[in-house]
Amino acid sequence: MSTFATLGVKKPFIQSIKELGINTPSEIQQKAIPILLDKRTDFVGLAQTGTGKTAAFGLPIVQQIDPNNNAVQALILSPTRELVQQIKKQLFKYTKHYDAKVFVEAVYGGEKIEKQIHNLQRTTHIIVATPGRLIDLIERGEVHLKEIITLVLDEADEMLSMGFKQDLNRILKYTSGHRNTWLFSATMPEEIQRIIKTYMDANAPRVEINRNATVNANISHQFVKTTIKDKANTIIRFLESRQNSRGIIFCRTKAGTQNLNKLLQEEGFSIGALEGDMQQKERDKVMRAFKNESLQYLISTDVSARGIDVRDLAFVIHHQLPDQLDYYTHRSGRTARAGKKGVSIALILSNEIQRIHEIEKDLNIKFTETNF
């Protein structure tokens, strides 16, 4: 069986990731790391979040940075502000025991651009960015990407569906000719294939993590039949029955998120809301409080469905089922991380049972009916 050492990861990084509980390489890490460390190459990885994808590209990136060169050498694009900050923190942690300094900056919308410009004037080896804000900085002449060696497109399908297509094309054009592109995506819609065809090497190695394996087998899927009127009470009964557990409640709308948050706060629960209309400062504050456990629960729209990694979440509640099937996987993937068990509970109305059967069929999972 391979170890991080046999994959080519150097000792100080192995020591650092050990402290994050990363001891044995996951499938995507086993497959991607040797390729990405061995030679300069484009790369396509079909993998979802929760598979250890961040370390699969992050370790090769930090190991390949030349700390004596002050230029920006790697650019990582990711769809949401929270993910950008999470990746930045991970990379920083990977270098904890490295004797050289690798400087990582995160740039994303919603935060004062002047502050980010100021930070970028210091030595920066790696930029982690949302596409829109990066374009802003490029246009102001505040980012210099001429010496980029590696461009990572993380969650490429999500960036496209969030409307970043033009921005991505511009960034790809702007950095073309002198960098390798590592593209990670959970799905391969036509638009992604077009990006690969236009901007990447036709012989780029491809690694696919079995899609069926991406719906984590440690998650138990349950549904509760309820009524619109009784949904809030159903959630309250559940939270009261599991007082020591932490989890996320997903709602379909921003207003619904805020209303339910208010109601649950009034009931005395330690909960915070996160949705896209909130000021970035507020979003960061809530996410920080949830991650450091000063909030027990998070209530959110799908803005935190993907990628967000919070340890030891025992459950996910779907106040309503998501419109898109993929989002069921993303939402429920917030629980049962790093080998732990978790439960994903959908609150459904009696006319939605058909939807449960569809999800069972499409994702090859089984739901059990429950009650509380």
CB 152 to ligand AMP: min, Å: 12
CB 281 to ligand AMP: min, Å: 24
Among residues 318 and 337, whose Cβ is nearest to ligand AMP? 337
**Both structure tokens of 70:** 């002050």
By CB under 6 A, name the one of 5, 20, 100, 255 that touches ligand AMP: 20
CB 54 to ligand AMP: min, Å: 3
Does 216 sit near ligand AMP (CB under 6 A)?
no
Q: Phi/psi at 218 (nearest 5 deg)?
A: -85, 0
Does 22 sit near ligand AMP (CB under 6 A)?
yes
Does 49 sit near ligand AMP (CB under 6 A)?
yes
Which of 8-16, 20-28, 119-127, 262-270 is the region at the interface with ligand AMP (rule: CB under 6 A)? Answer: 20-28
CB 270 to ligand AMP: min, Å: 23
- Spatial distance between the Cα atoms of 112 and 73, rounded to a whole number of angstroms: 24
- Spatial distance between the Cα atoms of 274 and 269, rounded to a whole number of angstroms: 16
**Both structure tokens of 100:** 């050289």
Among residues 209 and 346, whose Cβ is nearest to ligand AMP? 209
Among residues 27 and 352, whose Cβ is nearest to ligand AMP? 27
Does 338 sit near ligand AMP (CB under 6 A)?
yes
DSSP 364: T
- Spatial distance between the Cα atoms of 79 and 173, rounded to a whole number of angstroms: 19
Does 133 sit near ligand AMP (CB under 6 A)?
no
Does 78 sit near ligand AMP (CB under 6 A)?
no
Q: How many residues are recorded in the chain? A: 372
CA atoms within 13 A on the CB side of 370: 18
Binding to ligand AMP (CB under 6 A) within 291-310 occurs at 307, 309
| Among candidate residues 167, 174, 101, 93, the one with its CA nearest the CA of residue 132 | 167
* Residue 108, amino acid: Y
Helix axes of 11-18 and 81-94: crossing angle, nearest 10 degrees: 120
Does 55 sit near ligand AMP (CB under 6 A)?
yes
| Among candidate residues 225, 221, 216, the one with its CA nearest the CA of residue 367 | 221
Does 46 sit near ligand AMP (CB under 6 A)?
no
Q: Are 117 and 140 in contact (CB under 8 A)?
A: yes
Task: Give the list of residues 6+ apart from residue 161 with CB closer than 8 angstroms, or none.
Answer: none
CB 241 to ligand AMP: min, Å: 27
| Among candidate residues 372, 334, 335, the one with its CA nearest the CA of residue 239 | 372
Which of 50-58, 120-128, 175-183, 362-370 is the region at the interface with ligand AMP (rule: CB under 6 A)? Answer: 50-58
CB 55 to ligand AMP: min, Å: 5
By CB under 6 A, name the binding residues for ligand AMP. 20-22, 24-26, 29, 49-55, 307, 309, 337-338
